[in-house]
Amino acid sequence: LSWDPSPTPEVAGYKIYYKQDNANYPFDGTGAAEGNSPVDVGDTLSATLTELGDDVVYFFTVTAYSTDSESSYSNVVSNGWLPALVIPTVGATNEPVPVTFRWETAPSDYDVTYTLFYGTDQTEVRNVEIIVVPPPISGNNTILPGVIVTLVALLLLTLRYRPATKLSQQAVALLYVILLGGMLTACGGGGGGGDSASDRSTTSTESTVFSVNKGSSDYHQAYDLEPSTTYYWKVVATDTQDPNLTYESEVRQFTTENF
């Protein structure tokens, strides 16, 4: 691992924090020959951790420390692939609205979809519960309403040509209402095309974090941001064959312009 020097002249050294399997705090990993997390590597800009497990994804972050304080975590990196955030850049200020979020796509041997999360609470964004939303039904979305329309129409025709059938006028009226509703539903279905992103919420209803399911897209424009406000954001890639297999980016922050 290597990193840029801290601009603070009082820095006495650096610590490496590590953890396996996920990038959620705290970084309390164990197993490296150099010690459990954090590893104090002194006043150097590179270090190597050895004897970590094979075929295990580890996450790393670095802090700088002085004699009486320690910095916040750096960006998080991993020995496996993670979605790399492109824009907004770390700590960007006066970010114009609409804000364009962009991230790097996965290598060709990954089959994933992307979900963007953003909000004003760093902890909520970092720990937001991810709910996997199934993809929309392929093909014509009006099949089910069409079936309902057909069945109700057949029933009405049967009643029309079978006078002996006893049915109240209210029941017949109800059938006509169902028929009309089914026709309207069928006519209104099938929208939302265009971008491969579905832009559907994937967080629980209790969460204040915004989430956007972007499908295979690598960007999103957000118009619903407040002026002069700090936001936190991340991207989670989900394997299309195994929804339990996810790849989570670091959490970044930016501040919108005053408009």
pLDDT tens, position by position, 17-39: 999 887 778 899 999 999 999 99
Q: 1-80 has which fold?
A: Immunoglobulin-like (2.60.40)
Q: Rounded to an integer, what distance in angstroms lies between the CA atom of residue 221 and that of residue 205?
A: 22
Q: Rounded to an integer, what distance in angstroms lies between the CA atom of residue 33 and that of residue 37?
A: 11
Instruction: Please provide the distance, in angstroms rounded to a whole number, between the alpha carbons at the two ends of the chain.
Output: 41
pLDDT tens, position by position, 47-77: 999 999 877 889 899 999 999 999 988 877 8
Q: Is the peptide bond before 88 cis (omega within 30 degrees of 0)?
A: yes
83-141+190-259 maps to CATH 3.40.50.20: no
Q: Rounded to an integer, what distance in angstroms lies between the CA atom of residue 223 and that of residue 203?
A: 19
At residue 173, the pLDDT reads 55
Give the containing element (helix H, strand E) for 114: strand 112-119
pLDDT tens, position by position, 170-227: 555 555 555 555 554 444 443 333 343 444 444 444 557 999 999 999 999 999 999 9
| Domain residue limits, the chain | 1-80, 83-141+190-259, 143-188
By three-state DSSP, how is residue 152 classified?
helix
More confident residue, 127 or 169: 127
Asked whether this chain's domains 1-80 and 83-141+190-259 adopt the same fold, the reply is yes
Instruction: State pTM to two decimals.
Output: 0.52
